[in-house]
Structure 1
Amino acid sequence: MKIKETPLKDCYIIEPTIIEDERGYFFEKFNERKFEELTGMNGHFVQDNISKSSYGVIRGVHLQQGEHAQAKLVSCLEGKVWDVAVDMREDSPTFGKWFGIELTAENKVQLYVPRGFGHGFSVLSETAIFSYKCDNFYHKESERGILYNDPDLNIDWKIDPSDAMLSEKDKKLSSFIIK
């Protein structure tokens, strides 16, 4: 497992070491001890979530705040997504910046999204199955979000805006205001 820094503070790309032979492949998807040793971040997860979506679906930008904030380790199990993390920690040197990466079933890359970050993804393949490992339990009252097409963030979702499919809840999210 290789861990690479992103341009955002405390947000990491995790690339597996894949062992292949005529039978198929094997890789260690996550190792809490290695992760903590290489990043200094807590890697203990308590909840796993899976979503399946069609091409053009945008899920996000979501986060939980306060004592219910969540760090996430995300990956694409089937298909291809454009995954986006937004640093929403006001005291961070990368506050208001976003980072995007293509996660696919083929590349097996994961993204670690720390607490205090917004997160979302768009589906680039016909369908995609997406995995989220969370270090805190979901708490509806602590959930917040930013409108996917916020002009201050100017996120490139890698799909034509006319193809974007959002939940009713995501259509009503507020804008991100950089102070």
Structure 2
Amino acid sequence: MYIEPMKIPDAFRVIPERHSDRRGHFYEAFRARELSEAVGHSFSVAQVNCSVSRRNTLRGVHGTVMPPGTAKLATCVRGAVLDVVVDLRTGSPTFGAYDVTELDEATDVSVYLADGLGHAFLTLTEDACVFYLCSAEYQPGTMIEVNPLDPALDLPWNLSEPPLMSDKDRVAPTLAEAAAAGYLPSYKQCQALYRQLRVAGVG
């Protein structure tokens, strides 16, 4: 597999090598050693989530408060989604910046995002299925929601009709409001955690 850094520091695209024959194809979606070398520390999987959505569903921008934080590896195993990583870390040189990847079953590309980064996607097909490998188990009350339609973020959804959204996402604060409320992770917090993980050698 090939792992390339994204525009947002501490986010990576994982591009697998496909092996195809008359039966179909096979690929390695996750190899711990190679991902660990790319991100600088190992990535331990504590929980696996599956999200199934209708076409034109918009989910996110979601993150996790620090602590506990959660790193994720997201893969679209059925259909296609427009996947966006947003830097939610206050004080980061790229705070509020984003990078976009189309994830689909035809390419099998995944996106890794470190603790402190936000994630959102728009489904481009019916019955799109996204799998997440998560470094921490879900803890109620630790989720961060930022409005994916925040005009200041200006995420490139290119919507032709109103998207399907949860009530939580629809009324989520803008990035500026979330930062002013003080519940976004800080770049300093995240860098300290990354250093701790490198020293400990665990994800």
TM-score range, shorter chain: over 0.9
Aligned partners of 1:124 and 1:158 also within 8 Å:
no
Q: CA RMSD in A?
A: 1.4
Q: Percent identical across equivalent pairs? A: 33
Spell out structure 1 runs of 4+ moving beyond 6 A: none
Q: Render the CA deviation track for 1:125-156: whole Å, top value 9, x for unaligned.
A: 12201111110111121111111110111001
**Residue type of the alignment partner of 2:42:** N
Deviations for 1:6-29, whole angstroms, at most 9, x for unmatched residues?
111010000001111223221111
* 1:165 aligned residue: 164
Q: Indicate if the aligned counterparts of 2:83 and 2:102 stay in contact, CA closer than 8 A.
A: yes
Range with greater deviation from structure 2 (33-42 or 71-80): 33-42
SS of aligned partner of 1:38: helix
* Aligned positions of 1:12-91 closer than 5 A: 12-91=12-91
Question: Amino acid of the residue matched to residue 164 of structure 1?
Answer: P
Kindly provide the CA deviation profile for residues 74-112 of structure 1, in whole angstroms up to 9, marking residues without a partner as x. Answer: 010100000011011123221110111100011100000
Tell me how far apart the structure 2 counterparts of residues 123 and 41 of structure 1 sit (CA, whole Å): 31
Contact 1:36–1:42 (Cα < 8 Å) also in 2: yes
| Conserved? CA contact 1:88–1:118, under 8 Å | yes
Deviation at 1:66, TM superposition (A): 1.4
Contact 1:86–1:117, Cα closer than 8 Å, also in 2:
yes
Gaps of 5+ in 1: none
**Which residue of structure 2 aligns with residue 108 of structure 1?**
108
2:191 matched residue in structure 1: none
TM-score (norm 1): 0.94
Segments of structure 2 that go 5 or more residues without pairing to the other structure are: 181-203
For residues 138-149 of structure 1, the aligned pairs below 5 Å read: 138-149=138-149
Q: Which has the higher strand share?
A: 1
- Which digits, 9 at most, give the CA deviation of each residue in 1:8-56, with x for residues without a partner? 1010000001111223221111011111123314321110000110011
Query: When the two structures are superposed, what TM-score results if normalisation uses the length of structure 2?
Result: 0.83
* Distance in 1, Cα, partners of 2:69 & 2:10: 15
Q: 1:48 to 1:158 in 2, by over 3 A?
A: farther
Amino acid at match of 2:33: R
Give distance in 2, aligned partners of 1:4 and 1:19. Answer: 20
On the 8 A contact 2:33/2:42 being kept in 1, the answer is: no
For residue 170 of structure 1, what is the amino acid of its counterpart? D
Tell me, what secondary structure is at the counterpart of 1:34?
Answer: helix
2: CA distance between counterparts of 1:106 and 1:158?
22
Between Structure 1 and Structure 2, the one with more helix by share is: 2
Q: Take 1:140 and 1:56, find their aligned partners in 2: how far apart are those partners?
A: 27
